[in-house]
Amino acid sequence: MKLDTSGLESFPSLILHGNDVAGEISAPPSFDLPNSNDFDGFLKEAIQMVKPAKGTTTLAFIFKEGVMVAADSRASMGGYISSQSVKKIIEINPYMLGTMAGGAADCQFWHRNLGIKCRLHELANKRRISVTGASKLLANILYSYRGMGLSVGTMIAGWDETGPGLYYVDSEGGRLKGTRFSVGSGSPYAYGVLDSGYKYDMSIEEASELARRAIYHATFRDGASGGVASVYYVGPTGWKKLSGDDVGELHYHYNPVTPSTTVEQEMVDAAAA
């Protein structure tokens, strides 16, 4: 993929006839360097400021019936919650899903691009692309942009001829095949619940409940995760959205408020005067 560098080309300056333009050579494109004693430190700080932290919780796991994919829906910019309704599970094609963690624009754009490449593969080869192939396509693209500031931490989940497939792909160029992954700032919390409740032989209901629970627990503890816990299932006939529950409501579902019979201080009517 060739990068479009037309923006960097310098334009020839207008050479007016008669003016002394002997020294008027078009200068190469440049920008002012900031006045700073410690330029390296300044550069580091600038990168840190721009670099988006992967504030999210997404998870996916393979089990007997297929793949379960779940994510929260909060977008945060530092301490500000910019949205509670972000779609973090991206539908690449009817039998493959991708999750979003990191830069929203990067994830959306490159997943869409991956969808295009997968469709082209289908048209060229008269068969669907495998999950292995699709994840390798994405990993190679991201690897070629490494060091340029892309922030993508995604899982590619799908069902192909070999059965269920799950790959973790990130913008550092890493690609891992596995059975259970969780990505984002809330992932350690989700891993705990997911690992302890996981069994390969689960029914679809049990698996979706485990996924939902893991997302809920992560949103409870991680400030950068929240909103709605969406759960998708990928089976032999493609993906299907199973549930989308607000985690605030889930909290009271899992921790119901019991009306206590004893009150700290009960007000009694004064004896009728």
Partner 1 sequence: MECVFGLVGNDFAIVVADTSAVHSILVHKSNEDKIMFLDSHKLIAASGEPGDRVQFTEYIQKNVALYQFRNGIPLTTSAAANFTRGELATALRKNPYSVNILLAGYDKETGPSLYYIDYLATLHKLEKGAFGYGSYFSLSMMDRHYHSGMSVEEAIDLVDKCINEIRSRLVVAPPNFIIKIVDKDGAREYAWRQSVADTPAPSA
- Distance in Å, CB of 8 to partner 1, minimum: 19
Inter-residue contact 168 to 184 (CB < 8 Å): no
Choose between 214 and 228: whose C-beta lies nearer to partner 1.
Answer: 214
CA dist 65 and 95 (Å) reads: 14
| 67 forms part of the interface with partner 1 (CB under 8 A) | no
**Single residue of 29, 41, 174, 236 touching partner 1 by CB under 8 A:** 174
**Single residue of 92, 156, 157, 166 touching partner 1 by CB under 8 A:** 166
- Distance in Å, CB of 63 to partner 1, minimum: 10
Could you tell me which residues come within 8 angstroms of residue 157 by beta carbon, excluding any fewer than 6 positions away? 60, 67, 69, 96, 97, 98, 99, 131, 164, 165, 166, 167, 234
Give the total residue count for the chain. 273
Mask: binding to partner 1, 27-66, rule CB under 8 A, as x and -? -----------------------------------x----
Alpha-helical runs (H) found in the chain: 39-50, 104-125, 131-144, 187-197, 204-221, 247-254
| 100 forms part of the interface with partner 1 (CB under 8 A) | no
- Distance in Å, CB of 47 to partner 1, minimum: 17
CA dist 244 and 230 (Å) reads: 4
Stretch that binds partner 1, among 156-164, 210-218, 225-233, 254-262 (CB under 8 A): 156-164
Mask: binding to partner 1, 176-205, rule CB under 8 A, as x and -? xxxxxx-----xx--x------x-x-----
56 counts as catalytic: yes
Inter-residue contact 197 to 188 (CB < 8 Å): no
| 145 forms part of the interface with partner 1 (CB under 8 A) | no
Q: Are strands 180-183 and 228-235 parallel, antiparallel or unpaired?
A: unpaired
CA dist 138 and 106 (Å) reads: 12
CA dist 178 and 201 (Å) reads: 17
Q: Which residues pair with 246 in a beta bridge?
A: 228
- Distance in Å, CB of 163 to partner 1, minimum: 5
Q: Spot the catalytic one: 5, 56, 132, 237.
A: 56
Inter-residue contact 70 to 29 (CB < 8 Å): no
- Distance in Å, CB of 214 to partner 1, minimum: 14
Stretch that binds partner 1, among 3-11, 43-51, 139-147, 260-268 (CB under 8 A): 139-147
The two counts, helices (H) then strands (E), for the chain are 6, 12
Choose between 82 and 179: whose C-beta lies nearer to partner 1.
Answer: 179
**Single residue of 146, 221, 240, 253 touching partner 1 by CB under 8 A:** 146
Residues that bind partner 1 (CB under 8 A): 62, 139-140, 142-143, 146, 161-163, 166, 168, 170, 172-181, 187-188, 191, 198, 200
Catalytic positions are 56
